[in-house]
Amino acid sequence: MGGAGVGRRWTVALVALALLAACGKSAPPAASNPDVAKPQQGATGATANFAPNDPPGEWRRQARDYANTRFSPLDQVNTTNVARLKVAWTFSDSNAYGHEAAPLVVGDTMFLVGPYPNTAYALDLSKPGAPIKWKYEPHPDPIAIGKACCDAVNRGPTWADGKLVFTLLDGEAMALDAASGKPLWRTRLGEPANGMTITMSPLVVGKTVLVGNSGGEMGVRGQLAALDLDTGKELWRAYSTGPDADVKIGAGFKAPYPWLAGKDLGSTSWPAGAWNRGGGTVWGWISYDPALNLIYYGTSNPSPRVPAQRPGDNLWSSAIFARDPSTGAARWAFQFTPHDEWDYDGVNENILIDAPIGGQTRHLLVHLDRNGFGYTMDRETGRIVVAKPFADINWATGIDPATGRPIVNPAKEAKVGEEVQDICPTHIGSKDWQPSAFSPRTGLIYADIFNICMDLTDHRVGYIPGTPYDGMDIKTHAGGHTNKWGEFIAWNPLTGQRVWSIPENFMTMSGVLATGGDLVFYGTTDGWFRAVNARTGQVLWSQKLGSGITAQPMTYLGPDGRQYVAVVAGVGGVASQVMGAKNGFPPRGGTLYVFSLDGVSPGSAKGMLETQGAGAPGGHYGAPD
């Protein structure tokens, strides 16, 4: 079960799949656009490793692949016909907490895990109307509802080796048998009474389940745990703060910059003992590079949110780790926002891309941070290649190329008892957890971002376990040159420039799907689901849904050979906290919408009712299943 074994296995798999891919990309029936059928050189030349190269019609984990591209090769739905997208069927879970997860599709089954109480559903896609195959209710402890900073959300399950793996709000991870819905194991990773919750989606690498934690607003200490996929037994745990032994910084660690080298920086960059309740929680996304056998993930803001109470850089909060998934050992780490004063978590997704720079193929990661800088880094070393703002910001004037540290604007530093006005971005950043997508067909990153600024007053706080360790008094307003809360952008990760953008009146917080049909999909918090031409930024299709969208879109190939696009409308999370009181903000919901060309699905076929006996003499609607 060593790392070498994992690496070797994946190398073999990669070679096999590369050969497969060479035989021809997925050839779904009725690909109608001759343009999209041709492989195209990306605009930037950037590509990605799509390991583990799942079947093209499936979506087995939230990011679809280890590289976190959220790119599907499916192209039945493309720029020429997307205007024909219509609702094929819907599914409601009647849960009013914020929905942030994408459904998964494996074989003929769709899997959903909702917000608290984290009920899991399997739907049978082979039957009309996709009826429920099984349902599992884990009954997590309701105490967690009042400990989650930003709504009782869940960012979705992952499928691996016939198991559905997901987290529970009350600080647990669990696995179900995906075929039957029977629980296989359930592992507690922290105590909600002390403020720890879990909202993130686990990543499975080989037989290792990687699970982080939430609670950076509650003085929770950040951690990433590795569990055995078969038993749920904990294999290792790496903390984000504290002595090197706890952070798993050892001989194999190479600091990308000199200021990040030194013994026990995770404790010495804090006031004595403060690291023990110092945040740096792990509630975002994990990427994996099978060739380097390294995982990448970010850490949250430090606790308390009031910087005056924690002089120092506060490592390794608001940072990124590269670790060996078999041991947890850190290979490198980098801090985006030293001594964070504004709640700029570093948890946003890291998209692994490969691109030619100066005649060499570089192994890169792209990270659009909450602090407003778009970082393109060398994922072997952690050194910055490009760092440019992707939104209008004023807390820093740039990134020092010699150190990678932001050049902070002293006028926008937080002050105790004094209001500092118009800090951009606001506490949730120029972009929050909502994951961007990468298309190898354009070589661009697509992201839904914010243009929100804040007036900030800090107050000193005391640590009381299980209560917020916070101290930020925030008033938000739209800002930036658009003065609009949301925006959808195409980003060139090699130059650090926008290619095009679509301003939105309401926050955009859905995450993004990119497809082989040269489409990118995103949703708005006022309920518009849109398809955009990935090359031009032209909106080709929009559909208003029953609630705002804070959940991630996905696409799959049904058992009938058709391409479907799916997204849940169930607004919530931090979007409802920031914008919920604004005029026009939609009510909550929890409805999955599944779209296809002309709305066709097995259930919609003409004559379906006749086949069920409705048209026959004495017939009735709906045969018992």
Partner 1 sequence: MRRPPSALACLAVLALAACSRPTGGRTSAVNPAAVPADAQLRAVPLGQPPGEANSVAATIANPYEGDAAAVADGKALFSSMNCVYCHGDNGSGLIGPALNSHGWRYGGAPAQLYNSIHDGRPQGMPAWGARLPPDQIWKLVAYLESLGGAKPPATRQMVDASTPSTTGPQVNGQSQEDTAHEALVRDDAADDASAVNGTQ
Catalytic residues: 217, 301, 343
Over its C-alpha atoms, the chain yields an Rg (Å, rounded) of 23
Q: Which member of 13, 17, 21, 96 binds partner 1 (CB under 8 A)?
A: 96
What whole-number distance in Å separates Cα of residue 129 and Cα of residue 103?
16
Q: Closer to partner 1 by CB, 368 or 472: give it.
A: 472
CA atoms within 13 A on the CB side of 213: 34
By CB under 8 A, the residues from 139 to 158 that bind partner 1 are 142-150, 152
Q: Is 450 in the site for partner 1 (CB under 8 A)?
A: no
Q: Is 581 in the site for partner 1 (CB under 8 A)?
A: yes
Pattern 400-439, binding to partner 1, x per CB under 8 A?
Answer: ----------------------------------------
Tokens of 222: 């950040």
Q: Which member of 324, 343, 470, 504 binds partner 1 (CB under 8 A)?
A: 470
Q: Closer to partner 1 by CB, 287 or 457: give it.
A: 457
What whole-number distance in Å separates Cα of residue 251 and Cα of residue 330?
9
What whole-number distance in Å separates Cα of residue 63 and Cα of residue 58?
12
For residue 543, report the phi and psi dihedrals to the nearest 5 degrees. -135, 130
SS3 label, residue 247: helix
Distances (CA, A) of 367 to 68, 434, 528, 565, 573: 11, 12, 26, 26, 22
Q: Is 464 in the site for partner 1 (CB under 8 A)?
A: yes
Torsional class of 312: left (φ above 0), alpha (ψ -120 to 50), beta (otherwise): left
| Alpha carbon of residue 158 to chain centroid | 12
Segment contacting partner 1 (CB under 8 A): 353-361, 428-436, 458-466, 497-505? Answer: 458-466
Tokens of 180: 């039957």
Q: Is 546 in the site for partner 1 (CB under 8 A)?
A: no
Segment contacting partner 1 (CB under 8 A): 205-213, 266-274, 584-592, 610-618? Answer: 584-592
Tell me the closest approach of the beta carbon of residue 217 to partner 1, in angstroms: 7
Tell me the closest approach of the beta carbon of residue 572 to partner 1, in angstroms: 7
Count of beta carbons in the 10 Å neighbourhood of residue 241: 30
- The verdict on whether omega for the bond into residue 559 sits within 30 degrees of 0, i.e. cis, is no
Q: Is 622 in the site for partner 1 (CB under 8 A)?
A: no
Q: Closer to partner 1 by CB, 510 or 576: give it.
A: 576
What DSSP designation does 617 have? T
Q: Which member of 26, 276, 467, 482 binds partner 1 (CB under 8 A)?
A: 467
Q: Is 194 in the site for partner 1 (CB under 8 A)?
A: no
Residues in contact with partner 1, total (CB under 8 A)? Answer: 34
Q: Is 549 in the site for partner 1 (CB under 8 A)?
A: no
Q: Is 233 in the site for partner 1 (CB under 8 A)?
A: no
Segment contacting partner 1 (CB under 8 A): 131-139, 368-376, 460-468, 514-522? Answer: 460-468
Pattern 51-90, binding to partner 1, x per CB under 8 A?
Answer: ----------------------------------------
Q: Which member of 296, 316, 469, 595 binds partner 1 (CB under 8 A)?
A: 469
Q: Is 310 in the site for partner 1 (CB under 8 A)?
A: no
Contacts 24+ apart (CB under 8 A), 7-11: 7/290, 7/291, 7/293, 9/206, 10/51, 10/52, 10/206, 10/290, 10/291, 10/293, 11/290, 11/291
Segment contacting partner 1 (CB under 8 A): 31-39, 436-444, 557-565, 568-576? Answer: 568-576
Give which of 201, 222, 196, 471 is closest to 346, Cα–Cα: 222
Q: Is 277 in the site for partner 1 (CB under 8 A)?
A: no
Side chain identity at residue 266, one-letter code: G
Q: Closer to partner 1 by CB, 146 or 250: give it.
A: 146
Tell me the closest approach of the beta carbon of residue 581 to partner 1, in angstroms: 5
Q: Closer to partner 1 by CB, 280 or 468: give it.
A: 468
Tell me the closest approach of the beta carbon of residue 103 to partner 1, in angstroms: 22
Q: Which member of 405, 484, 562, 588 binds partner 1 (CB under 8 A)?
A: 588
Tokens of 166: 């997901």
Q: What angle do CA 329, 331, 337 make, to 5 degrees?
A: 110
Q: Closer to partner 1 by CB, 167 or 555: give it.
A: 167
Q: Is 466 in the site for partner 1 (CB under 8 A)?
A: yes
Q: Is 585 in the site for partner 1 (CB under 8 A)?
A: yes
CA atoms within 13 A on the CB side of 431: 29
- The verdict on whether omega for the bond into residue 425 sits within 30 degrees of 0, i.e. cis, is yes
Q: What's the residue count for the chain?
A: 625
Which residues lie closer than 8 Å to 10 by C-beta, 6 or more apart?
Answer: 51, 52, 206, 290, 291, 293
Segment contacting partner 1 (CB under 8 A): 55-63, 338-346, 457-465, 557-565? Answer: 457-465
Distances (CA, A) of 322 to 142, 293, 297, 397, 603: 34, 10, 7, 27, 46
Q: Is 501 in the site for partner 1 (CB under 8 A)?
A: no
Tell me the closest approach of the beta carbon of residue 220 to partner 1, in angstroms: 14
Q: Which member of 217, 349, 354, 432 binds partner 1 (CB under 8 A)?
A: 217
Q: Which member of 415, 459, 544, 620 binds partner 1 (CB under 8 A)?
A: 459
Would you tell me which residues interact with partner 1 (CB under 8 A)?
96-97, 142-150, 152, 192, 217, 459, 461-462, 464, 466-471, 473, 571-572, 576-577, 580-581, 585, 587-588
